[in-house]
Chain A
Amino acid sequence: MLEVRDLVIVRGDWRLEIGLLKVRSKTVLLGRNGAGKSTLLKAIMGLIRPANGRIIVNGRDISDLAVEDRPLGYVPQRVVRLAMSPRDQLEYFSKLHGTDYRPLISKLGLEPLVGKRNLSLGETQILTIATVLLKNPEALLMDEPCANLDWLNKKQVLNLIRILETPILYVTHDPLEALLVADEIALLEEGRVKGVYPNEARERVQKDLKFYDLYERLKTSGPRIGD
C-alpha cells in the first residue's frame, strides 16, 4: 500500500495539501487542469521536493530516498520513446533490475510487441508500462498515460492497466477514464483531496461502453448511407 501523509507543496501563491491519501488497489486522482495532479505524482516519485510530508510504501518511509532508489514505478504523461528496439529496451532494464522480462511479457500477452520495430503511440505506452514493471515496483504512479492516445490505443492501455495487480495511483482529468480504471476515485480540487469515493459504476460503464464504442459498432453495423 502507498500512503501519502501531510504532504505540502508550495509554488508561490499556489498550495497543494494532502492530509492522507491511501492507495490500496487502483486509485484514480481526478482533477481539472492545474489542480496539482502531476505535481503530486512527481512529489511522491521524488522528482520535486515538497515543503513537508511523508511517503510510505508498505509501512516503509521512503521520503528521504533518492528518485532512483524509490520502490515505485512512474509512467509519465508524454509517451517516452527510447532509441532502442522493444527487445533491447526490455533486456536493458531487466539487466538493470536483475529480472527476466520474458515471464512478464508472456503473462501480459505482449509477445507480438517485442519483435516489432515501429510501435504506435499506444504500443509504446504499453511497452513503457511493461518496462516499469520490470523494476518490480511496490506501487505504480501513472500520470495521464492515455492523454495522447486515440480511442483504440487508449482501450488497449486501459485493458492492460486493469489486469495489473500492483497498487496504482492513476491521474486523469477524464471522468470516463476514471470510471474505467478505478476501484476508488479521489477528487482533487483547489489543492486538496475533497473526498475518496468507491467506483461502483465500473462494470456498468464497461458494459455500456460496448454500446457507445463506435469503432466496433460501425464495423459490425448493417447498411451504410448510400448502400
Chain B
Amino acid sequence: MVYGGAMDRILLIAVIVSVAYFLLLSLPAVVMFGAAPSSSFFRIVASTATYATASSLIVLPVSFIVGFALAFRPSGSYMTPLILFSTAIPHTAIGILLAPIVFSLKITDTATSIVLGMFVVSLPIGVGVMRASFAAQGVELEEFLRSMGVRGMRLQWFYLRASPTSVLLAALLSWFRAFSELGVFLIVAQRPQTVGVYIFEEFLRSGPTAVVSASLVLLAVAMMLTLVTLVLERAGST
C-alpha cells in the first residue's frame, strides 16, 4: 500500500505519462493527415457506449459468479488458462464461431448481435479481473464464512463488499473492450455502426485523414479510463 504524498506523486506521474503517450501517438497522425472531425462520429460513439454499457451490465454478474468459481473451486485452476487464452483468439474467428447463432436467430446487423458480440469478447476480461481479486482475498474468508453458516450468494456478497475497486475495474475494462470491438462485428454486425466499424469503413472509403479524429477520441477515452483506474486503485489502497 502507498499512502498520501507518495501516492499523489505516482498519480501525477501517471497523468504525465498518459498525456505524453497520448501526444506521442496522436501528433504524427495529426501532422501527416490532419484531424478532420466527422459530424456523425459522436452519435456513433454515444450508441457504441450504450451497447457497451448494456454488455457490461450482463458481463459483470456473470464474471462475478464465474470468477468466484475459478478462484475457489478445485477445478478452477484448470479452467483459468482457458479463460485467459480466450482473450487472445482472433476476434474475426470469434465472429465466425458466433455466426451460426446470429444467423439462426436472425439477429444479424442488429443491436442484439452487437451486444452479444461485445459480451463474448469482454467476458474473459471481466472474469479474469474478478478471479484475481477473489484469489487475492484468499480462500480463508470463504472457509470462515461457511463455518459461520453463511451460504450461497451471501458468500459472494461478502466478497463483493470487500472488493468494490475490483468490481469497478472489471466493469471499466470489460466496457472498454466491448466499446473497442471490431473483428466480431465485421462478421455478424456491421450495422448499426459501432466506433470500430466506423473507423474501418471510413479508412477504406476516404483514407486515414477521415479517421484521425476518431482514433484520437478513442485514445483519449483509454487515457481517461487509465486515470480513473489509478484513482480507484488509490481509493482502494487508502
Contacts and interface: CB of A to CB of B under 8 A. Distances in A.
A94 to B, nearest CB: 11
B147 A45 contact: yes
Contacts of A97: 149
B162 A42 contact: no
B144 A135 contact: no
A74 B147 contact: yes
Interface string B126-140: 000000000000101
A76 interface: yes
Nearest to A72: B147
Contacts of B151: 68
Contacts of B149: 68-69, 96-97, 135
A82 B143 contact: no
Interface in B143-159: 143-144, 146-151, 158
A80 B146 contact: no
Residue among B138, B140, B144, B151 with max Cβ neighbours from chain A (10 Å) = B144
Given A82-B158, A83-B161, A84-B161, A47 B148 contact: no
A80 B161 contact: no
A79 to B, nearest CB: 9
A78 B147 contact: no
Contacts of A131: 148
A83 B140 CA distance: 14
A31 interface: no
Interface in A47-83: 47, 67-70, 72-78, 80-83
Nearest to A93: B148
Interface string A85-124: 0000000010011000000000000000000000000000
Given A68-B149, A97-B149, A135-B149, A74 B144 contact: yes
Contacts of B224: none
A68 B148 CA distance: 6
A144 B141 CA distance: 15
A74 B142 CA distance: 12
A132 interface: yes
A47 B140 contact: no
Contacts of A76: 140, 143-144
A80 B141 contact: yes
Contacts of A83: 158, 161-162
A146 to B, nearest CB: 15
Nearest to B144: A80
B162 A67 contact: no
Contacts of A82: 141, 158, 161-162
A104 to B, nearest CB: 15
A47 B151 CA distance: 13
A47 B147 contact: yes
Contact of B148 (A42, A77, A78, A135): A135
Contact of A77 (B140, B146, B158): B140
B150 A128 contact: no
B143 A74 contact: yes
Contact of A47 (B141, B143, B161, B162): B143
A99 to B, nearest CB: 12
A132 B148 contact: yes
A67 B146 contact: yes
A165 to B, nearest CB: 20
A68 B145 CA distance: 8
A128 B148 CA distance: 11
Nearest to A76: B140
Contact of B140 (A69, A73, A80): A80
Given A69-B149, A82-B161, 17 more contacts: A47-B143, A67-B147, A68-B146, A68-B147, A70-B147, A72-B147, A77-B140, A78-B140, A82-B162, A83-B162, A96-B148, A128-B144, A131-B148, A132-B147, A132-B148, A135-B148, A135-B149
29 contacts: A42-B143, A45-B147, A67-B143, A67-B147, A68-B146, A68-B147, A68-B149, A68-B150, A68-B151, A69-B149, A70-B147, A72-B147, A74-B144, A76-B140, A76-B144, A77-B140, A80-B144, A82-B141, A82-B158, A82-B161, A82-B162, A83-B158, A83-B161, A84-B161, A96-B148, A96-B149, A97-B149, A132-B147, A135-B148
Closest 10 CB pairs of A and B: A74-B147, A83-B161, A76-B140, A83-B162, A78-B140, A67-B146, A80-B144, A68-B149, A68-B151, A47-B143
